Amino acid sequence: MQAFIQGLQTALQGELPGYSAQLKMSHSFRNMFPQYVQESKDASVLILFYAKNEAWHIPLIQRPSSNPNDPHSGQIAFPGGRYEEEDGTFQQAALREAQEEVGIKPKDVQILGKITPLYIPVSGYLVHPFVGYLDYEPTFVLQEEEVHSVIEAPLANFQDETNLHQKDMEFSGGRSLKGVDYFDIEGKVVWGATAMMMNEVLELLKQPTIAI
């Protein structure tokens, strides 16, 4: 399994699939916004690979649905959050947030690289996604104010095209989006920025030099 990690790390140092790969899991409303906005705020997330039952998994979090001020309330996301000045780097912000939200120890994470930053129009953040590896199966400790639950998502479920679907999404205030692409991961709807970033990772994994 170490060959997979080495191959992924090498691929992350080369040319990335980029924003075009992310757009494959976006809604047409994204066309109303630029790829980057100069006055955006910064945030970081951690896309963490670890082996469980001899298969690769990635932890996702479900945010609590009780916060009316959170535009991402109840949604599925990677561990992560806002960059703070004391972090020093976007990578450190991703590691800090993963520790705070789900108890991942920063010193145990091997950062393999990063994928393309993604602007989130609804919150005004530019998200910096880092890809990491943990050489053991983690025990998650949830920050209950920020995390409702953890979904240990098998990588194979993302790669299985039968888990790709569309649905109409309803939001507070009577807003809605028609025909939104999403991954069905064990009954959870993974869409929006999380799906877009994950799709870039999936495109990267199609390289023949990476052994799954």
Q: Is residue 134 part of a domain?
A: yes
Range of the domain at 96: 2-20+36-156+194-205
pLDDT by position in tens, the chain (length 212) = 889 999 999 999 999 999 999 999 998 888 888 888 888 999 999 999 999 999 999 999 999 876 555 555 678 999 999 999 999 999 999 999 999 999 999 999 999 999 999 999 989 999 999 999 999 999 999 999 989 999 999 999 999 999 999 999 887 666 778 999 999 999 999 999 999 999 999 999 999 888 76
Q: Is residue 26 part of a domain?
A: no
Q: What is the structure's pLDDT at 70?
A: 53
Q: What is the structure's pLDDT at 35?
A: 85
Q: Is residue 164 part of a domain?
A: no
User: pLDDT tens digits, residue range 104-128?
Assistant: 999 999 999 999 999 999 899 999 9
String of DSSP letters for 58-88? EEEEE--S--TT-TTTT-EE-SEEE--GGG-
The strand ranges marked E within the chain are 41-52, 55-62, 76-77, 80-82, 110-114, 118-120, 125-133, 149-154, 164-170, 176-185, 188-191
Domain count, the chain: 1
80: left (phi over 0), alpha (psi -120 to 50) or beta: left
Q: Is residue 54 part of a domain?
A: yes
Q: Is residue 112 part of a domain?
A: yes
CATH number assigned to the domain comprising residue 128: 3.90.79.10
The whole-model pTM stands at: 0.94
